[in-house]
Amino acid sequence: MLQHLTKTLHPGVLNDCFYQAATAICRKRAKALGRPLPLHNMCLHCPNVHRSAVHLPRLTTARDQALSVLGMPKKERETLPRLQVTALTDYATELDELIESITTDGTKEGARSA
């Protein structure tokens, strides 16, 4: 328990981070400026991250925003660079998976407490 108290919590919008230098993905990017530099997509897969139902509404909003850009009329969407469309598609897919994992975990916990 005391070891847990030595971790630094960084609350976030889409997740919280219990920063540990040894496993932080953002630390690998820190060499250029001398400090950790969070990059959203890195945080999605970092072992230091923690997500819960608290983050679900914001994850859903972020996913919906990406989908709204992808759902633009074809003429408007064609003005976007192809790589941006690919990145948004991948981002929406990743967020769907995270939302599903939180929803599934919440359902399992709810079933246990019932």
Quick one: which of 39, 53, 52, 19 has its CA closest to 91? 39
Could you read off the pLDDT of 14-52 as tens digits, one per residue?
889 888 888 888 777 666 666 655 555 677 788 888 899
Are 66 and 75 within 8 A, CB to CB? no
What pLDDT score was predicted for residue 29? 67
Query: For residue 6, what pLDDT is reported?
Result: 58
Q: What is the pLDDT of residues 81-100, one digit of tens each?
A: 999 999 999 999 999 999 99
